[in-house]
């Protein structure tokens, strides 16, 4: 019963791990490094675009990983006693070899961190980034 969910998780988990291997940071640029405000604001906008792409990738991977996990948990909640007894060893072995629950938590944290970095960068732009 749970095989399709395990297969989906196994398929996306390596990609999620690869994404977590290289966590980008988006620190605010130092104003003194740019000769004009225009260049400074341009750099902030560039960082915001890059951050948004990274957030989108992370969010998509998180959804692709958490959806089959949630579906599997829902399935497990609706199993009869005998079905659950059969599924328990499969579940225990799977979470031991594929720590997807930890990966999901890490991806959620990363999404929150990226949003916080986005707010920090946006605050550096004049009037919401509309003018230079």
What pLDDT digit, counting tens, does each position of 8-43 carry? 999 999 999 999 888 888 999 999 999 999 999 999
The predicted pLDDT at position 1 comes to 65
The predicted pLDDT at position 118 comes to 97
Query: 3-class secondary structure for 12-68?
Result: HHHHHHHHHHCCCCCCCCCHHHCCCHHHHHHHHHHHHHHHHHHHHHHHHHHHHHHHH
Under-50 pLDDT residues of the chain: 129-132
The predicted pLDDT at position 13 comes to 96
The predicted pLDDT at position 32 comes to 92
Token digits for 3? 């095989």
Contact at 8 Å (CB) between 91 and 76? Answer: yes
Report in angstroms the alpha-carbon separations of 7 from 3, 10, 72.
6, 5, 11
**Rounded to two decimals, what is the model's pTM?**
0.85
């Amino acid at each position: 019963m749970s095989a399709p969910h395990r297969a989906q998780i196994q398929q996306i988990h390596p990609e999620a791990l690869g994404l977590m291997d290289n966590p980008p940071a988006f620190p605010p640029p130092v104003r003194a490094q740019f000769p004009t405000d225009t260049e400074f604001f341009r750099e902030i906008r560039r960082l915001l675009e890059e951050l948004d792409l990274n957030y989108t990738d992370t969010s998509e991977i998180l959804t692709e990983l958490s959806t089959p996990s949630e579906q599997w948990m829902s399935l497990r909640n609706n199993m009869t006693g005998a079905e659950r007894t059969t599924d328990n060893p499969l579940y225990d072995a799977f979470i031991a070899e594929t720590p997807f629950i930890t990966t999901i938590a890490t991806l959620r944290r990363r999404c929150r961190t990226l949003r916080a970095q986005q707010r920090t960068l946006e605050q550096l732009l004049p009037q919401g980034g509309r003018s230079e």
